[in-house]
Amino acid sequence: MNFGLEETLKYLPTSERESLLRSIEEDKVVHCCYLNQSKISIEDFLKQYPNVKAHPFVKGAFIYSKEEYDLGKSILHSAGGIYIQDPSSMMPVYFLNPNRGDRIIDLCAAPGGKTIDAALALQGSGLVVSNDISYPRAKELSSNIERLGLGNVIVSSVPPASLSEAYPHSFDKVILDAPCSGSAMFRKNSLAKEDWTLEKVNSCAALQLKLLEEAYILVRKGGAIAYSTCSFSYEENEGVVKAFLAKHPDIKPRRLIDHPSFYKSESCPEGIHFFPSRFEGEGQFLIIFDKDGEEEVPSHNERKSNPEVKKHLDFLKNWNLEDRYTCLRGDILYSLPCYFDCGKLSVLRYGVALLNVKDKAGVPEFALSHYLPSSISIPLTKEQAKKYLIGEAFPLSGKDGFQVVSYNALNLGFVKIVKGIAKNHFPKGLRHRY
């Protein structure tokens, strides 16, 4: 390997650098998933997939062989029971350690792994504002949030500077998984290696420092920032950290635990490198910054009265949603655990989409079926589930009207029962033949 990467690794001792370079050349990709435990318990998952290995730190995450379990093509994945994510990518939120009720912002969120980690850690409470400047990537992010059935996430697509201008000192925690040169992606994406240059490293480092400045404005006193990259280069990690700390004496890097699978450099012992030569994953750099000062933590449970939703109260009560904040955006009724003023931001998703009111009768949104508990669903047989997932109608006993259907206690979506026939409302773009 002689295309400049070694130049950016000179901060490493020779043995560490050589073992890292060897691991990058290995023909190996690690597969891991994180359970959505509101949909499937660890016990039930292990009954179905016994030959998995627990993540060394993150409870409810499992490393698996794709040859044995192609989980990306499973009903469990389609129903939002799991999110597939690199094991090292799970570590920033693990160390950030969200508390119930926290207000969190994820600045560069797509495709959504760290947003999902944080939203699940909040256990349905609090709020995650999940942003990506790229609208197409934000749409992919929104789709992943919908599939997981998360009801405490706002998805937006604006420049981070717009967020810091609108919401200074407003968040308990900030996640910044910064755009980077991507050397930790070499094993799983050959194009990443072809695209890598020293110029890109330096360009990314400048952008990363700018994004950290936005994160600094967004986080309140007493709050925390998780800064991470999927780069091995000093310039994007220790170099950016050093420049950021020099500008902000009120920011303190948090000293994290030591472990044989972590590498900490002498120049920045608070940061952790999850090198693939040590840690089972593709690689990540992480540091947690704490912002000095004490500030009264504002209540994040504000619920504003919203007269326009009163006409939908029967619908909300039918699905046990009346205690959440509900609002109408365009033709879609949305729900969040608490009120959040999005102002003029470009918002793709304001919590969980409940109801399309364009039709006078109202049509429940697919996202709602994945948010609701399976206890309110009509269980399907295997044959009925197959028919549902390919878009067919089928006989089904139940009360006329819209009903949620499930398979193996996993909600699949809505049907509309008319005189014993289930009219299919599974989205056409998601239909597969299993």
Residues classed as catalytic? 230
Residues contacting 397, CB < 8 A, separation 6+: 420
CB 89 within 8 A of CB 158: no
Alpha carbon distance 199, 158 (integer Å): 26
The residue among 367, 402, 396, 374 whose CA lies nearest residue 383 is 396
CA pair distance 3, 12, nearest whole angstrom: 17
Phi, psi of 310 (to 5 degrees): -60, -35
How far apart CA 251 and CA 236 sit, in angstroms, is 18
- Count of CB atoms within 10 A of residue 166's CB? 15
Distance CA 117, CA 292 (A): 25
Residue 10 to residue 354: CA distance in whole angstroms: 53
Query: Is 138:347 a contact under the CB 8 Å cutoff?
Result: no
Cα diameter, the chain: 74
The beta strands (E) that lie in 40-170 are given as 53-54, 61-64, 82-84, 103-106, 127-131, 153-156
Among 298, 356, 362, CA closest to 330: 356
Q: 3-class SS at 149?
A: coil
- Token pair listed for 192: 């990443």
* Residues 8/233, Cβ–Cβ less than 8 Å: yes
Count the neighbouring beta carbons within 10 Å of the beta carbon of residue 221. 12
